[in-house]
Amino acid sequence: MTAQRERLFRILEHLLRIRNECSCGILSECGLADITVKQVRYLKTIDENGEVTFTRLAEITRISKPTVTELINRFERAGCVYRDRCPDDARTRYIRLTEKGQMIARAEEETLRRVIDRMAGALSEHEIDLLIEILGKVR
């Protein structure tokens, strides 16, 4: 590896460390430092689909209904979701995110915002514009 690529490697490694630090901070704020990436993905799926039922979540995630029920029970105990009765059909329950669940589901976005805030605090306006231009070229 050339010296230039080695420097780039170290810089990107440092940025990823900052990202992980921010991400862990958000999850710790939620009291769920031990949540898995897969569980975060399920919460994100619920968040993105709005009025999602148990059956619909099973279809979207391609996991069985009993597994969805077990997952939602775990999320409910953790304070991430609650069940909401459908006004048109009392047998149907929607899975809704609590504020804590939304925070976890949106942690990735918030992590990036925190990383950007740290970068913006260390760079001038010109440097930020230059960074945007450079990163925009990466495909």
| CA-CA-CA-CA dihedral for 79, 72, 103, 129, to nearest 10 | 170
Tens of pLDDT, residue by residue over 77-133, are 999 999 999 888 888 899 999 999 998 899 888 888 999 999 999 999 999 999 999
Q: Is the dihedral of CA 32, 111, 108, 5 positive or negative?
A: negative
Where along the chain do its domains lie?
1-34+106-139, 35-104
Tens of pLDDT, residue by residue over 28-87, are 877 776 788 888 899 999 999 988 999 999 999 999 999 999 999 999 999 999 999 988
**Which residue, chain included where needed, has tokens 């409910």?**
76
- What is the pTM assigned to this prediction? 0.71
Name the CATH topology of 35-104.
Arc Repressor Mutant, subunit A (1.10.10)
